[in-house]
Amino acid sequence: MFRLKALVSLEPGNEFRDIASSMYEGKWLVLFYWPLSFSKTFPPELFDFGRRYGELIDRGADVLAASTDAPYIHLAWRKEHPALYGLPFPTLADFRRELARRLGVVSKHDGSPLRATFLIDPDRTIRWACAYDHSIERSANDVLRVLDGIAPASRVRYSTLETARLPQSKPAPLLEAVG
């Protein structure tokens, strides 16, 4: 799927590493794009995912953030925002927009990526995708809710439900249902 340079640390000499999608095979992956570094809008979102990272890991999911900025832009931006110093996940530098184009999240207006989030299953299938309007704040809580709904580990607690006993009904056509 991809191989991109990523910022993985603020420690001099260890800042960057190549990240490949194959490194995440067999686990759930949360991949989210932010449109522009050095914007005041996006540090709280990245911080939120960093703060909730342990909960995502507990559910068998890892996290990658991405933008179309170059790796050194990510480094400078994170150094400027103390809340982003300790992010526990890599930030991908998709500066050629290769992955963003394949995912269909490049804005036709300005070429920046949309504010998009993807939930990818262990078989590399995108199970959930959401593109947010710039006026709507993205939340790790939304991703946790969706992950709980579709990830097998989250469904185990519901496995004792006897679906055979549930009433089987056929949906009524809309006009009949209304009236």
Q: What residue spans define the domains of the chain?
A: 3-143
Written as six digits, the tokens of 167 are 């009433």
3-state DSSP call for residue 139? coil
> 3-143, which class in CATH?
alpha beta
pLDDT bin (cut points 50, 70, 90) of residue 172 is very low
DSSP track, 36-54? -TT-SSSHHHHHHHHHTHH
Report which of 43, 24, 25, 26 is spatially closest to residue 34, judged by C-alpha positions: 43
Q: What would the pLDDT profile of 33-88 be if each residue is shown by its tens digit?
A: 988 777 776 778 888 999 999 999 999 999 999 999 999 999 998 898 887 888 99
pTM for the whole structure: 0.81
- Residues 122 and 27 sit within 8 Å (Cβ to Cβ): yes
- In this prediction, residue 46 carries a pLDDT of 85
- Residues 32 and 120 sit within 8 Å (Cβ to Cβ): no
Kindly state the greatest CA–CA separation across the chain: 69
Q: What would the pLDDT profile of 1-10 be if each residue is shown by its tens digit?
A: 799 999 999 9
Q: What would the pLDDT profile of 80-138 be if each residue is shown by its tens digit?
A: 888 788 899 999 999 999 999 999 999 898 888 888 999 999 999 999 999 988 778 88
